[in-house]
Amino acid sequence: MSNKAMVDELTDMNNRRYMEWFIGEKIKKLEEESGTISCMMLDIDYFKQFNDRYGHIAGDVCLKKIAEIIRGCCQDNDVAAIRFGGEEFFICLFRWDRDEAVEMAETIRERIAECRFKINGEEEGAVTISIGVYTWHGEGKVQMDDLVCLSDKALYQAKKNGRNRVEVLP
């Protein structure tokens, strides 16, 4: 498969094909080592309303900026970040414990909240994100779908508890 097939054209981030291939291989190695994997599911708060109000071009600019911030925070070789779909992003942190993952999640959340988007030449308020974090502690086998599902469950808890926050699945 070509590299082009593994990259999201809009955000220039890796995509779900990359996740299935690369992250899947890393998981196999960590299962053998009993290493930890922390995962984050990120979702832009009220993104549909943003698109409805400002239009899809502004929405694309917003997605590109958020992807840039996420990539800037994910420079470590043991971190893989992808655009999961729509306004959702997924990050896997290999050999990172829960506290380290939460610290990174808070950094990403804060940087995005501080970012201001210009629309039609005018400065607008911040866009916020909600983040769900789940850490697998190396017991037994783990499937990619499980990591996605559990971090997604934590994300929905963040949305339920008010958005613009990080929630951790115990």
pLDDT at position 1 is 52
Q: 40-60: per-residue pLDDT in tens? A: 999 999 999 998 888 888 899
Predicted TM-score of the model (pTM): 0.92
Helix axes 56-73, 98-114, angle to 10 degrees: 140
Give the strands of the sheet with 166-168, arranged side by side.
Answer: 79-85, 88-94, 37-44, 129-136, 166-168
Q: 69-84: per-residue pLDDT in tens? A: 999 999 988 899 999 9
Tell me which DSSP letter residue 139 carries.
-
Catalytic site includes residue 68: no
Q: 91-127: per-residue pLDDT in tens? A: 999 999 999 999 999 999 999 999 887 777 777 767 9
- Which of these is catalytic: 25, 33, 87, 123? 87
SS3 content of the chain, % helix, strand, coil (to 5): 50, 25, 25
